[in-house]
Amino acid sequence: MSLMPRLVADKETVKQFMYVAINGRLAPRNVEDYMKLCLLAYRFKQAVKHGINLVLKGIPQREAYKELAKMLPSSIYGETAYKYAKLLVEGSNRRKIEIKSKWVASRGGIIWRGNLNIKLLSTDKVLIRYYNGEWLESDVRFGKRYLPLIKELIELARHKRISYGDSISFNDGKPYIHVEIPLWLYLKHFSTPKPEGYGLIAGFDVNSDRINTVLINAKGDIIALKTFRYTDVVSHGFPREKARWLRLNAITDALKWCRRIGVDYIAFEDLTKIKTRRFINTPSANRKITKFPKKQMIRHGIIKALKLGFTVVLVNPRGTSSSVTHKQIMKEKGLDRHIASAYIIAYRGLKKLKERKPSITPLT
């Protein structure tokens, strides 16, 4: 019997994992269209900056929408800019927020057949709403393996069955489009059916230099444990992109190991419960914390686990690495602090699975 991928988490957390971004390269028809796209992105960035001020001043949402809409070609652009501004304010503990990059984004809508402002016409054409009713037509190139997915997305949107958000960013002056694909549709194309295992649950403790994995059964007994190390990445001067590649590969290796030995459930920390990073008095440790993209790694791990057919459980991270319970687990089971953290994550995942009504994503 094959298992279908599921995500077990709180309702608010599940909402943040309902979409997966697919990236493509934009190629405007001419220099004039490229400059217009740059201007649109610059004004969207200015709208987000203005939106941050409106949020901090406590301006009512409807009034803020109207004010930002005056700066952009469409009210939906303005609404999206305000939502970005609100997210930036909520995710920062500083009054002054710097925005360096320029970009433009538009939320999706079923009634608009996918998106009102940035429309996918086909797998290689996109329309972008500009000022005074003008549309910018651009070529777009997605990876070959994504073309069937994009094609089905466009077809479903045409029949008003699905929507998608779009954003356009610039890297070294080159424009890229990022399409938000519903998670269920993404998994339909890219998940691998997983044979039913032994009901084991694996807890993942993700750190800057290692991933600790503990496997437990339905009684909470430890069945196996393993550490996947990438210690070189915390060295001073180590290339950031190479560090990212090694860390993400380590997560993939850990998940494949779990799949081989019959694990059915993967437990990660739900980092949406923690808004800010905690720093300590050691400069070298703070450097590691700053350069360690833990949320990005765990998000990658969640999507990868779903693609491999696991049920993913997200648990509250508070007290998993420093608490009375953590010290007690270390002492009773003879575990080091990292393995003890992985055990607590696995055990909390087990408890969550036993709850009567967990919030879950629909089956693919």
What does the pLDDT look like over 91-126, one tens digit per residue?
776 667 888 899 999 999 999 999 999 999 999 999
d(CA 248, CA 270): 18
Q: Residue 108: its pLDDT value, please? A: 94
Domains of the chain (ranges, CATH numbers): 19-189 (no CATH), 191-360 (3.30.420.10)
What pLDDT is recorded for position 361? 52
Q: Look at strands 118-122 and 125-129 and give their pairing.
A: antiparallel
Residue 81 CA: distances (Å) to CA of 15, 103, 163, 294: 19, 10, 18, 26
Q: What is the pLDDT, as a whole number, of residue 363?
A: 47
Q: Structure pTM?
A: 0.84
Per residue in 231-252, pLDDT (tens digit) is 888 887 888 888 888 899 999 9
Residues of the chain under the 50 pLDDT cut: 277, 279-280, 285-289, 358, 362-364
Which one, of 166, 154, 152, 161, lies nearest residue 108 by Cα?
166
Provide the pLDDT for residue 332: 87
Query: What is the C-alpha to C-alpha distance for residues 261 and 189, in angstroms, rounded to an integer?
Result: 25
Neighbours of 42 (CB within 10 A): 13
For residue 319, the model assigns a pLDDT of: 86
One-letter amino acid for residue 110 of the chain: I
Predicted local distance difference test score (pLDDT) of residue 149: 97
Query: pLDDT at position 287, please?
Result: 45
